[in-house]
Amino acid sequence: MDYNSPKTQRQQKAIKQARNVFLLLLATGLSIGVLVSIGVVKLMNYFGLTEKTNQIETIQEKLN
């Protein structure tokens, strides 16, 4: 196959359609990723997983 030959109209249409599908999938994936990350941060805040704990107090509570 000669890759230097001019592309036919059908090939150009297929390339454009593939590019559009790729961009749609990329945008959808990024959007879902943003929503999931926001949800994870909210859940971590809700359960107090983002608070800094005093490690010495925690160890002493476990020992007693």
Q: Which amino acid is at 31?
A: S
Question: What does the pLDDT average to over 37-54?
Answer: 88
Answer whether residue 41 shows pLDDT above 90: yes
Distance, in Å, from the CA atom of 47 to the CA atom of 61, rounded to the nearest integer, reads: 20
Answer whether residue 48 shows pLDDT above 90: no
Q: What 3-state DSSP class applies to 9?
A: helix
Question: What does the pLDDT average to over 33-57?
Answer: 88
Question: Degrees (nearest 5) of the Cα angle 8, 11, 12?
Answer: 85
For the chain, give every domain's residue range: 37-64
pLDDT band at 1 (very low <50, low <70, confident <90, very high): low
Say what the pTM is: 0.66
Q: What are the residues whose beta carbons fall under 8 Å from the beta carbon of 1, sequence distance 6 or more?
A: none
